[in-house]
Structure 1
Amino acid sequence: MKDQLGRLLDITQIPKRIISLVPSQTELLCTLGLTDSIVGITKFCVHPEGLKTEKKIVGGTKNVHFNKIADLKPDIILCNKEENTKEMVFALEKIAPVHISNVITLEDTYQLILQYGEIFNRTMQASHLVNSIQYKKGELNIDNRIKKVVYLIWKDPWMAVGGNTFINSMLELNNCDNVFKNSTDRYPVLTLEMLKELDIDIVLLSSEPYPFKEKHISDLIKLLNTNTILVNGEYFSWYGSRLLNAFDYFKTIRWLNN
């Protein structure tokens, strides 16, 4: 068995004790019926609700308590190329096999789900989930007009989403032309002066990782004189089972459908 970086995993039996260091992957495990097998999660694993009160918190996505992880005696640790660091992975590999995901497109998501199905003996559930997500995607009927957008994820400094990201793939599904899709940086740092010079139809403010609120909308509209809306970042950035609801959510976004 290989992970999404093509790394061979030394797994001889179905893992029974799982540590997940990626929130969207934690939710995916629960959807696949593996909640009881999860022994450790991050402080950002907020879905499903209440899971954080049941499982051991081993840190965040960039910094973890290796001693806590070792004490849990995991059979496998689940990471992500973007969310977790190389240094973490090297240290974690001394504790247990580490599976690393690398999700940029929907196809990558499908592959990850099916890999988990094989690793954890949930092939039927994984196949059903992939089919359900594909069906939901097929129901998406977005206005064919291309909208030029910037998707902001941070303030002070301002940061946007570039190309080669899962968020950019979700924007493309919504017929959005990300003005920073060709940036050499996956998450370019900007100034408001730079944004003023761009021909943008819509500014999207993500609810995460920076907690943009409604109050930020009026401020940007005044500064940029451009349609600005707040969007639920989970539906643009959480791959896995959150996609079951993402496509219905996309239909509700006012400026994406007008």
Structure 2
Amino acid sequence: MPSVRVVSLVPSLTEAVAVTAPGTLVGATDWCTHPADLDAVRVGGTKNPDVPAIVALAPDLVIANEEENRAPDIAALRAAGVDVLVTEVRGLDQAFRELERVLDACGAERRPGWLVAAEAAWRNLGAPSAGATRHAGRLRAAVPIWRRPWMVLGRDTFAGDLLARLGVDNAYAGHAERYPRVPVEELRAAGLDLVVLPDEPYRFTRDDGPEAFPETLPAALVSGRHLTWYGPSLAEAPEVLGAALRAVYR
């Protein structure tokens, strides 16, 4: 039996703990899709977890995130006597620090091989490759994350930081909101070089998203897991995201 019983309410942290310390997780959300063979009780969604079910699992620790999970649910768990570790991730460097903190709290190896590899992958990035295939400068992009209504990445986001490291600057990085609603008409007229469309949380596809923008505006469909998850996927994210960004300028 594992020495620490953990419930994770954050899909990317679920994967991080599961691959580092198998058997530690006793509960996870319905959205925790990695690893595929995860054996843990499902406790609802990230925004609507089943608090009584979590308490019934008698966890030593619940892992949450200040953005993905709701404050009332975290407060309810704490009121029930459950220890909750709340992470904050607004950029890549902070993600690495928080991953170490989470793994340590779970009694797992603080710096497993996948985390060391992820740090190296991002540290050893060459010159931004996406923009180099088009012009000497950087690419200016909007990054929608929802449709009906259209919402985009705004200021101070983890995904925006990853894209910036790959040579793509978020056109709404200076917005007052972190995830502003922006009419598609404004996006079309924003003078963008590119629109980046992840497949989560909204599942943008080639038939649902790019057609809303001018045919002259390149649209890069990217893996949401590699753009927004902070966990083992970070080790391959530079290659996966870079390839998707380069593909639109071949």
Give the direction of change, closer, same or farther, for the CA distance of 1:249–1:160 in structure 2 (3 Å limit): same
Superposed displacement of residue 228, structure 1: 1.2
The 3 A distance-change label for structure 1 pair 256 and 108 is farther
User: Is residue 23 of structure 1 aligned with residue 15 of structure 2?
Assistant: no
Alignment size in residue pairs: 240
Hey, what's the Cα distance between the residues in 2 that align with 1:47 and 1:71?
A: 24
**Structure 1 residues 253 and 131 mapped into 2: Cα distance closer, same or farther (>3 Å)?**
same
- Give TM-score, length-normalised by structure 2: 0.89
Partner Cα separation in structure 2 for residue 85 and residue 234 of structure 1? 21
Report the equivalent of 2:26: 39
Letter of the 2:185 counterpart: E
1:225 matches 2:212: no
- Residue 62 of structure 1 aligns with which residue? 47
Is the 1:203–1:227 Cα contact (8 Å) retained in structure 2?
yes
Let me know the Cα RMSD of the aligned residues: 1.9
Q: Which residue of 2 aligns with 1:11?
A: none
Matched with 2:229 is 238
Task: State the shift of 1:21 in Å.
Answer: 0.3
2:91 to 94, 105, 127: 105
Evaluate the alpha carbon distance shift between residue 195 and residue 18 of structure 1 in structure 2; reply closer, same or farther with a 3 A threshold: same
Which runs of 5 or more structure 2 residues have no equivalent in the other structure?
A: none
CA distance in 2 between counterparts of 1:173 and 1:257 reads: 18
2:99 aligned with 1:84: no
SS in structure 2 opposite 1:36?
coil
Q: Report Cα offsets for 1:109-134 as digits up to 9, x if no partner.
A: 111122133223334x5254432112
Flag the 1:35–1:95 CA change in 2: closer, same or farther, 3 A. Answer: farther
- 1:173-184 to structure 2, matched below 5 A, reads 173-184=165-176
Partner amino acid for 2:11?
P
Q: Percent identity between the aligned chains? A: 28
CA distance in 2, matches of 1:186, 1:15: 38
Match of 1:118 among 68, 83, 104: 104
Q: For 1:215, what is the secondary structure of its paired residue?
A: coil
Does residue 205 of structure 1 match 2:200?
Answer: no
Q: 1:138 is matched by which residue type in structure 2? A: R
Code of the aligned partner of 2:176: T
Q: In 1, Cα distance between the equivalents of 2:212 and 2:201?
A: 18
Residue 149 of structure 1: SS of its match in structure 2? Answer: strand
